[in-house]
Copies of this chain bind each other. A is one copy, B any other.
Amino acid sequence: MSDTPLKNISTDHLFLRAARGEQVERPPVWLMRQAGRILPQYRALRANFPDFKAFVKTPEAAAEATIQPVDELGVDAAIIFSDILVVPEAMGLDYKMVESVGPRFPTVITGATDVKGLRSGQDAAASLEYVFNALRVTKKALNGRVPLIGFAGAPWTIFAYMLEGGGSKTFSKARRMLYADPALSHQLLEKITTTTIAYLKGQIAAGADLLQLFDSWAGELPPAHYREFAVPYLQRICEALPEVPKTVFAKGAWFALEDLGEMSCQVVGLDWNTPPAFARARVGADKVLQGNLDPCTLYAQPEVIREATLEMLRQFGPKHIANLGHGVYPDTPLEGVRTFVNTVKGL
């Protein structure tokens, strides 16, 4: 790394003021998965790497992908190009990204010996230096233009991948373990949590201005299990990272909004099913809400997108960061994305 001093992001940046819950002139806007296939320049960059993981592990390439949507779309934040599955990999479970299928873990966790064999905490996070390097390269290249978001998967979601070996229709292997061996489940969640904390501390040290936790499979758990196996670990992570604002996006966890309202995070992400007023009534007045336009809206005609975006902004009111309710889908027309971003920015 060069020793040239970085122009740091101003703490007065619209996005950071909004994330802290301050009154702002308009909601900031970005899109989950904005660094990705929606952009032609991403597809060109991606073509240089036959292997997705080689791409993720090349800091200059990851930095370039991270910055592309800032240049192309004018979004108010960059999010580091990476994958939540680097954490299980760092803990000792290798995965393959299978084109048009998704991630696959050849080895999964089946019992106590497997859990015991996993690396955790700083020991595991040490192998994620390539992400920290990508953050440093990005930070330098951004030169203070917009804040840089770091992220990790939430412990329950990482646990689910480690048990299932990939996505699943029912997540019954992961959920089965919560019933069949709750003590071992907690041991594994504990190891994921300490690793995630070490990993996110590394991201902050490397320049992340805000952190987002993705609990992609939150909606698979019954409320009592979410309270027992997800909430305490999310809370531990949030408490361990007081330096930056934190966003928790627990997809499908409408039933846990009260818990999310009490969490030591500043921002709560919402999926496209959750009416803003329903969420606000449950998380309370303090939290900033992020979301939640249906990503499929962006396939519609520009007038429809514009009207839906304005309606969403009206429904949220203040303390809002505009985003979709899920990652933008790879085949979304770029014009639809632009209409969304520009509608928010034109407010």
Contacts and interface: CB of A to CB of B under 8 A. Distances in A.
Contacts of A222: 272-273, 294, 325
B300 A179 contact: yes
Contacts of A169: 102, 167
Interface string A282-308: 000000000000111101100010000
Nearest to A275: B223
Interface string A329-347: 1010000000000000000
A299 B178 CA distance: 10
Interface residues of A, number: 34
Contacts of A274: 255
Given A170-B329, A278-B255, A326-B170, A296 B219 contact: no
Contacts of A1: none
B296 A175 contact: yes
A273 B294 contact: no
B172 A273 contact: no
Nearest to A296: B175
A172 B295 contact: yes
B180 A300 contact: yes
A179 B299 contact: yes
A294 B329 contact: no
Which among A170, A255, A296, A329 has the greatest number of chain B C-beta atoms within 10 A?
Answer: A296
Contact of A294 (B102, B175, B300, B304): B175
Interface of A: 102, 167, 169-170, 172, 175-176, 178-180, 219, 221-223, 225, 252, 254-255, 272-275, 278, 294-297, 299-300, 304, 325-326, 329, 331
Given A178-B296, A222-B273, A222-B294, 14 more contacts: A102-B169, A170-B326, A172-B329, A175-B296, A176-B296, A176-B299, A179-B299, A219-B219, A223-B273, A223-B275, A254-B255, A254-B273, A255-B274, A255-B278
